Amino acid sequence: MTTLYTATATSTGEGRRGGRAVTDDGALDVVLAVPTALGGAGGGTNPEQLFAAGWSSCFHSALKQVAAADKIALTGSQVVAHIGLVPNGEAGYTIEAQLDVTLPQLDQAEAERLVARAHEVCPYSNATRGNIAVTLTTSTAAPVA
């Protein structure tokens, strides 16, 4: 199979504990910090936030793709990704994910069908399937601003 695109980022310094992550094109350049919820000083981003941003945007694109294939226009849709850091015994940590998808102009059954299809298409969903706990929630209520 041919690779269509490769993203490249470099982490330097102390990693999540005061490092820096930069993409090869310079479009992303972030200071890394341990969040205050984990006893850190905060003041920067962390890998879980980056993963949440990547997965939510990728899943949203997959959702738009499957809706377009069915000739369904999505407006006002949103995907919120919650990425949790979970102790994994003495072996370190793992992550868990919850994706909250809002499709305000659809009925519940149609919204759930699109979310299930997007979960089959999204590269992040495919990469994590069977490896971590993933919860999908679907709402047709208008998103809270």
Q: Residue 71 is which amino acid?
A: K
CATH number of 1-45: 2.20.25.10
CATH number of 47-139: 3.30.300.20
Tens-of-pLDDT digits for all 145 residues of the chain?
A: 899 999 999 999 998 889 999 999 999 999 999 999 999 999 999 999 999 999 999 999 999 999 999 999 999 999 999 999 999 988 899 999 999 999 998 999 999 999 999 999 999 999 999 999 999 999 998 766 6
Question: Is the Cβ–Cβ distance between 61 and 54 less than 8 Å?
Answer: no
Selection from 94, 92, 103, 101 nearest residue 131 by Cα: 94
Domain positions in the chain = 1-45, 47-139
Which tokens sit at 71? 């000739």
